[in-house]
């Protein structure tokens, strides 16, 4: 055999070696990198309000930058470059005052926007105070999370508020945050891959999702004004059911519930989880967001061992989540026997070597997302603004995650093609009714799904 010809037979590891990783514009997050400049066009959450200590600054890392955050005596949040502009001493040792923060070294005082308020060791008429500023970024606190915008101030987007926050009535957003030692893209691509729920969450680790998820799904990835929605449609003995998660560019995911799907009839056009995959830097990610606590999700009634176990308020927070396998806190051998999302996202390494991948048809969502991300990064490199999300303004941003479970009856849904068609048409109804009020929209979409089944019975 020609030595240059790659071998493909047994024990050919010497010849079949992973491709060498290349600099990937999709994974870079720091200032000046293509990916980092794109990500800086969006608001990102990076810490829970409960992490911020009264009267003390906190050192943080976000998008590859070393920063310090504090709440001054007036209750205002400040996010500044960590090193003092004078001599580089870290402001994590600064003194938080009624207004701004003062460097411990020479007393330079900065306001939350980076302006210099005082230079006590300088002459009173020194012009330095007006000649430069400490680097600072806008911050905003919402429902127990702190968000920042690190991009050009002249193109700062509206702060995103999603319609699922207020639905159903009485919905409570409970913040959570986990820190993962891997690139943000590995975390977000996990959400672009509904096929993994069959194996990781139902067959390999068989207590994480309902047993009905052991059936392979028909997958689809349907564009929305924000990104795409990913319905996974399955069939159990007597039911057809859909679980469709909503992916929003660049790094937002709205997850719907899975409990009871394929076992009993249900329809839910609402979120179980809203999550961002936010880069601390190229090798570390904040998995951060909200669990939606409401009667539809019914955490308190979840059976022991299921994906959702109450009381919910005690099972989420900092490095805590109400689904097994989201952290590395379990013993290593237990994680080997029942791996979870954490192990799947982190085990490829700090930055996955995509040159060694062999993508397949089940990776269609990952491929679609990478193409969209590459296109958006290229837009910013050309000096244009991102295409997604298209919806801006005071109105809540529409979301598209939903789940539905229906008795098949006499309907003819045969093979993957039949499941795919039903899932696609049911999802199109969710997209087409985005203008309706939430309750009206849910009723209309459920009715449309039942009409689709009735039509297949008459065919």
Q: Above 60 in pLDDT, residue 3?
A: no
Domain ranges of the chain: 43-155, 163-458
Tens-digit pLDDT profile for residues 158-180: 999 999 999 999 899 999 999 99
Q: Which residues contact 425 (CB under 8 A, 6 or more apart)?
A: 452
Q: How does residue 207 score in pLDDT terms, banded at 50, 70 and 90?
A: low
For residues 213-230, average pLDDT: 94
Q: How does residue 411 score in pLDDT terms, banded at 50, 70 and 90?
A: confident
Q: Which letter, b or e, does each residue of 112-147 get, where b requires 16 or more Cβ atoms within 10 Å of its Cβ?
A: bbbebebbeebeeeeeeeeeebbbbbbbeebebbbb
Q: Quick one: CA torsion of 404, 406, 408, 414, rounded to 10 degrees?
A: 10
Please tell me the predicted confidence (pLDDT) of residue 68. Answer: 97
Please tell me the predicted confidence (pLDDT) of residue 314. Answer: 66
For residues 299-305, average pLDDT: 47
Q: Above 70 in pLDDT, residue 267?
A: yes
Pairing of strands 284-293, 139-142: unpaired
Say if residues 239 and 262 touch (Cβ distance below 8 Å): yes
Tens-digit pLDDT profile for residues 309-329: 445 566 788 998 878 888 898
Q: Above 90 in pLDDT, residue 202?
A: no
Instruction: Identify the helix (H) or strand (E) that includes residue 458.
Output: helix 438-458
Please tell me the predicted confidence (pLDDT) of residue 344. Answer: 94
Q: CATH homologous superfamily for 43-155?
A: Rieske [2Fe-2S] iron-sulphur domain (2.102.10.10)
Q: Which residues contact 355 (CB under 8 A, 6 or more apart)?
A: 18, 19, 20, 21, 22
The dihedral region occupied by 120, where left means phi > 0, alpha psi between -120 and 50, and beta the remainder, is alpha
Q: Quick one: CA torsion of 96, 102, 104, 107, rounded to 10 degrees?
A: -150
The values of phi and psi at residue 62, to 5°, are -150, 125
Kindly report the CATH number that applies to the domain delimited by 163-458: 3.90.380.10
How far is it, in rounded angstroms, from Cα 31 to Cα 11? Answer: 44
How far is it, in rounded angstroms, from Cα 214 to Cα 202? Answer: 5
Neighbouring C-beta atoms of residue 412, cutoff 10 Å: 12
Please tell me the predicted confidence (pLDDT) of residue 79. Answer: 95
Q: Above 80 in pLDDT, residue 146?
A: yes
How far is it, in rounded angstroms, from Cα 4 to Cα 289? Answer: 50
**Among the ranges given (24-33, 88-97, 298-307), the one the predictor scored with the smallest mean pLDDT:** 298-307
For residues 10-29, average pLDDT: 67
Q: Above 60 in pLDDT, residue 37?
A: yes
- Residues found in the chain: 459
How far is it, in rounded angstroms, from Cα 430 to Cα 448? Answer: 9
How far is it, in rounded angstroms, from Cα 293 to Cα 313? Answer: 9
Q: How does residue 375 score in pLDDT terms, banded at 50, 70 and 90?
A: very high
Tens-digit pLDDT profile for residues 238-256: 899 999 999 999 999 999 9
**Among the ranges given (11-15, 349-353, 420-424), the one the predictor scored with the smallest mean pLDDT:** 11-15
Q: Of the spans 125-129, 145-149, 195-199, 261-265, which averages the highest pLDDT?
A: 145-149
Please tell me the predicted confidence (pLDDT) of residue 7. Answer: 54
Q: How does residue 31 score in pLDDT terms, banded at 50, 70 and 90?
A: very high
Q: Which residues contact 65 (CB under 8 A, 6 or more apart)?
A: 30, 31, 81, 150
**Among the ranges given (100-109, 154-163, 206-215, 364-373), the one the predictor scored with the smallest mean pLDDT:** 206-215
- Maximum distance among all Cα pairs of the chain, rounded to whole angstroms: 89
Say if residues 250 and 376 touch (Cβ distance below 8 Å): yes
Q: Above 50 in pLDDT, residue 1?
A: no
HSE (CB half, 13 Å, CA atoms) of 413?
26
Q: How does residue 61 score in pLDDT terms, banded at 50, 70 and 90?
A: very high
How far is it, in rounded angstroms, from Cα 196 to Cα 204? Answer: 10
How far is it, in rounded angstroms, from Cα 91 to Cα 67? Answer: 9
Neighbouring C-beta atoms of residue 416, cutoff 10 Å: 13
Record the pTM. Answer: 0.90
Mean pLDDT of the chain: 89
Q: Which residue has the tokens 């539809």?
A: 296
How far is it, in rounded angstroms, from Cα 142 to Cα 381? Answer: 31
Q: Above 60 in pLDDT, residue 130?
A: yes
Tens-digit pLDDT profile for residues 96-116: 999 999 999 899 999 999 999
| Distance separating the N- and C-terminal Cα atoms of the chain | 58
């Amino acid at each position: 055999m020609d030595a240059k010809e790659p071998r493909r037979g047994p024990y050919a590891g010497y010849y079949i070696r992973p491709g060498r990783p290349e600099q990937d514009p999709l994974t870079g997050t720091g200032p000046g990198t293509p990916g980092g400049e794109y990500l800086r066009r969006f608001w990102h959450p990076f810490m829970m309000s409960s992490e911020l200590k009264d009267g003390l600054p906190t050192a943080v890392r976000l998008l590859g930058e070393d920063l310090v955050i504090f709440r001054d005596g007036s209750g205002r949040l400040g996010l500044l470059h960590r090193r003092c502009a004078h001599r580089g001493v870290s402001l994590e040792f600064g003194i938080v005052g009624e207004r701004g923060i003062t460097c411990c070294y020479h007393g330079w005082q900065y306001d939350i926007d980076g302006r210099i308020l005082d230079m006590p060791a300088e002459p009173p008429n020194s012009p330095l105070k007006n000649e430069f500023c400490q680097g600072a970024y806008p911050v905003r606190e919402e429902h127990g999370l702190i968000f920042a915008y690190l991009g050009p101030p002249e193109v700062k987007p509206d702060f995103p508020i999603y319609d699922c926050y207020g639905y159903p009535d009485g919905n409570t957003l409970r913040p959570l945050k986990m820190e993962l030692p891997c690139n943000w893209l590995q975390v977000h691509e996990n959400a672009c891959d509904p096929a993994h729920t069959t194996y990781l969450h139902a067959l390999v680790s068989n207590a994480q999702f309902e047993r009905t998820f052991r059936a392979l799904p028909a997958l689809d990835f349907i564009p929305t004004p924000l990104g795409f929605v990913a319905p996974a449609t399955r069939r159990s003995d007597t039911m057809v059911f859909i679980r469709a998660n909503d992916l929003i560019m660049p790094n937002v995911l709205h997850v719907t519930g899975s409990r009871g799907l394929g076992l009993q009839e249900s329809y839910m056009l609402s979120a179980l989880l809203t999550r961002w995959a936010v880069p601390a830097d190229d090798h570390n990610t904040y998995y951060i967001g909200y669990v939606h606590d409401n009667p539809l999700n019914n955490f308190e009634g979840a059976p022991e061992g299921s994906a959702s176990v109450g009381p919910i308020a005690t099972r989420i927070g900092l490095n805590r989540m109400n689904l097994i396998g989201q952290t590395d806190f379990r013993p290593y051998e237990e994680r080997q026997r029942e791996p979870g999302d954490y192990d799947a996202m982190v085990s490829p390494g700090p930055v996955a070597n995509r040159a060694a991948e062999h993508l397949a048809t089940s990776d269609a969502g990952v491929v679609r997302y990478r193409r969209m991300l590459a296109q958006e990064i290229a837009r910013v490199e050309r000096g244009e603004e991102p295409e997604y999300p298209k919806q801006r303004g005071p109105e809540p941003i529409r979301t598209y995650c939903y789940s539905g479970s229906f008795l098949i009856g006499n309907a003819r849904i045969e093979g993957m093609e039949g499941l795919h068609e039903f899932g696609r048409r049911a999802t199109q109804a969710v997209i087409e009714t985005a203008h309706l009020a939430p309750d009206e929209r849910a009723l209309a979409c459920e009715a449309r799904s039942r009409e689709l089944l009735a039509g297949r019975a008459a065919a």
